[in-house]
Chain A
Amino acid sequence: MDVNLTLVVVAGALVGCGAYLLLERSLTRVLVGLVLLSNGVNVAILATSGRAGEAPFYGSADVDDMSDPLPQAMVLTAIVITLGTIAFLLAMAHRNWQLAGHDDVQDDTEDARIRRLAVDDATSDSYDMTADRDDEDDYREDG
């Protein structure tokens, strides 16, 4: 199978930039990253179809000269799906901005809470809740 080196390099560059942007905190940049990444992946799928050839229409050319239609069909499907994802993410970024005034990917508040407990150096609530009440009082008097 022949592989088009240009396509591979383009795919690599797009995927690399996309992955970098995905690590950003702003949802809009994540979104741009996703666009780049998906285009990179689509180019990679095209690269797997081998060398370029005639349009794969029945009877229009010799079968051996045609390019492989299957990856093209897959890329088409992938483009449609990515379009949907991007539209949904755009709506979410907008909603996030409406609600919070920014579009940052936010931390989970429960995680933040556990982190805060760690900063306090406090024991988790579960110990206090499960320990026997009387025992606990004794400990306090002793200590």
Chain B
Amino acid sequence: MMTSLVPLPVLLPLLGSGAALMLFRFPRAQRLVSVVVLALVVLVSATLLVVVDREGTQVVWLGGWTEIGVALVADRLAVLMLLVSSIVTLAVMLYSLGQGISDSNRSAPVSIYHPTFLTLVAGVSNAFLAGDLFNLFVSFEILLFASYVLLTLGGTAGRIRAGTIYVVVNALSSMLFLITIAAVYAAVGTLNLAQIAVRLDDLPDSTSLMLHLLLLVTFAIKAAVFPLSLWLPDSYPTAPAPVTAVFAGLLTKVGVYAIIRTETLLFPGGRLSELLMVVALLSMLIGILGAIAQSDMKRLLSFTLVSHIGYMIFGIGLSSQAGMAGAIFYVAHHITIQTALFLVVGLIERQAGSTSLLRLGGLARLFPVLGVLFFVAGMNLAGIPPLSGFLGKVGLLEAGIADGGALAWTLVVGGTVTSLLTLYAVAKTWALAFWRSPQEAHAMAEELAAADASHGPAAPDAPAVGRRGQVRLDTTSYDAGLVRQAGAIVDSDRPDRDLHQRLEDDGMPTRLPALMTWTTAVLVAISVAITVVAGPLYAFTERAAGDVIDRSTYVTAVAEAAE
């Protein structure tokens, strides 16, 4: 009976999306549909979580086509991901209502936003439930298409530029996924994950290694694991704040989820675990070093996202139950905290008009509530005890120590260093944007501009433009347009009217928008509450990890449902 709940997290948002599209003339009805649908999805996911934890994995063969059709599988891992993602999407939807993304604002047309957002939720839910490789591909496409539209909302120059790279990278990874599907089908003659899992064992080692690598590369692009992560910090920061928040929180985690399935269900035994651990280390360190170099809060957070994906890959790479439990807990924690941080930054952007660390200052005095929210969320990201980020990291580090190998120890050290560097990045943001006075920020920005003008290589248009539009600086040639663009960016950081002047001229709106602040606060509170319920939650993730490590649970559940 309870199996009838399994398709609902996909169906409800899809139906809601259709309804919202039809109601495009009635913004209020649209908002109502979105909120009600997302709240229902939260309820269904919570019920599923309880049911699956008590009665075991729930499987539905769609349309009764057993063995040859498409299966939806809800095991402990899938329902946990569903619950966390649905809570986060509901919060982000409320936040975007508060932001008035529905205003007659040209860069955020409402009639498109709601249906697209619901489609995105349907795609994410479908990816978590898919028991079939091709269904997984289709759900990736659903969520990607929704994300293309959300990213380029309004079609301004910056969004089109960022969107181009995002669309091409993702289209390429989809092609790679299709090639992989073709190869898997040729090798084993089925695409059902449980059936593949059984049949892959009979393949020659070289064939299965090739399939394994293809799948990992495909999912690593989605999850933004280091060498394949370069598209991410470029694409995410340009979107509207709620969109960036849901992208950063959820979309990369779908890739991580698919990597967990690949490593446990399809190719258990950790044949490539050393490779995974190496890329995890590189993701963590290079990601966080990139974050430190940034002077824009959104970009800084995007780089910490890449860095912290490394922790999850580390847990997966250990291929032990403890490592997997740590990784799953970390995914749940990171979805909430990364979304919350982007929502806080969205509030800052709305109130102060900028996210550049060169321009911000004195936010702690102006908006004490924002200060508290950012401080708690930032400390949680960095993993200060006793917050949930600390618990997740400790779980992973313990699993690494238990593994005991040289590579695992290197990762334990690397993880600790990354954690400290994250703290440094958060502290730097805090010191610049929140702690110093606006006057100080103003003086420094002017000084920087002056210094830039005096010791820089003269004005950006000074170097002679050579043949084929190249500019020669030092010994390297650069595209003339690029140098001009870069000059324009530096100009935009110059303090023509920064926070200090705005305060003097016309005063700032010191009242925070209520709905946005409340939803952000609730999300930060949830991330803190994860600490309170850490005991039961960690026990749950350990059971979930046990399920995925012992893949017979999944395989038998799917086979039994077929009878």
Contact = CB atoms under 8 A, between A and B. Distances in A.
Contact of B489 (A1, A42, A44, A109): A109
A34 B171 contact: yes
> What is the predominant secondary structure among interface residues of chain B facing chain A?
helix
B185 A45 contact: yes
B462 interface: no
A49 B490 CA distance: 56
Contacts of B171: 34, 85, 89
A126 B293 contact: yes
A88 B182 contact: no
A113 B486 contact: yes
Interface string A78-99: 1001001100110010011001
Contact of A122 (B293, B455, B460, B483): B455
A92 B166 CA distance: 12
Interface residues of B, number: 63
B448 A128 contact: yes
Q: From A42, A44, A74, A128, name the one whose CB has the most chain B CB atoms within 10 angstroms.
A: A74
A76 to B, nearest CB: 12
Interface stretch (B157-165, B195-203, B216-224): B157-165
B476 interface: yes
Interface stretch (B111-119, B173-181, B379-387, B555-563): B173-181
B292 A126 contact: yes
Nearest to B293: A124
A48 interface: yes
A53 B294 CA distance: 59
A48 B295 contact: no
A134 interface: no
Contacts of A125: 295, 358, 448
Contact of A119 (B299, B444, B476, B485): B476
* Interface size range on A against B: 35 or more
Contacts of A77: 134, 138
A74 to B, nearest CB: 6
Interface string A16-44: 00000010000100100010011001101
B349 to A, nearest CB: 16
Contact of A112 (B175, B185, B483): B483
Contacts of A108: 161-162, 165, 234
Contacts of B22: none
Do most interface residues of chain A lie in helix, strand or loop, or is the interface mixed? helix
Contacts of A135: none
A120 B138 contact: no
B57 to A, nearest CB: 25
A109 B485 CA distance: 6
Nearest to B485: A109
Contact of B474 (A42, A48, A107, A119): A119
A95 B160 contact: yes
A69 B181 CA distance: 15
Contact of B483 (A99, A106, A111, A116): A116
A112 B165 contact: no
Interface string B234-251: 100000000000000000
B486 A1 contact: no
Given A22-B172, A120-B457, A110 B299 contact: yes
Contacts of A119: 457, 473-474, 476, 478
Given A112-B482, A113-B490, A122-B456, A106 B164 contact: yes
Contacts of A88: 145, 148, 167
Nearest to A136: B447
A112 B473 CA distance: 13
A71 interface: yes
Given A105-B164, A126-B293, A129-B357, A110 B148 contact: no
27 contacts: A3-B186, A22-B168, A34-B168, A34-B175, A37-B172, A38-B175, A42-B178, A45-B182, A47-B182, A48-B182, A70-B185, A70-B191, A71-B185, A81-B174, A84-B145, A88-B145, A88-B148, A92-B163, A105-B164, A110-B234, A116-B486, A119-B474, A122-B452, A122-B456, A126-B293, A128-B447, A128-B451
Given A42-B178, A120-B456, A128-B451, 13 more contacts: A34-B168, A48-B182, A48-B185, A77-B138, A85-B167, A88-B167, A92-B167, A95-B155, A106-B161, A108-B165, A112-B489, A115-B482, A122-B452
Interface of A: 1, 3, 15, 22, 27, 30, 34, 37-38, 41-42, 44-45, 47-49, 70-71, 74, 77-78, 81, 84-85, 88-89, 92, 95-96, 99-100, 105-116, 119-120, 122, 124-126, 128-130
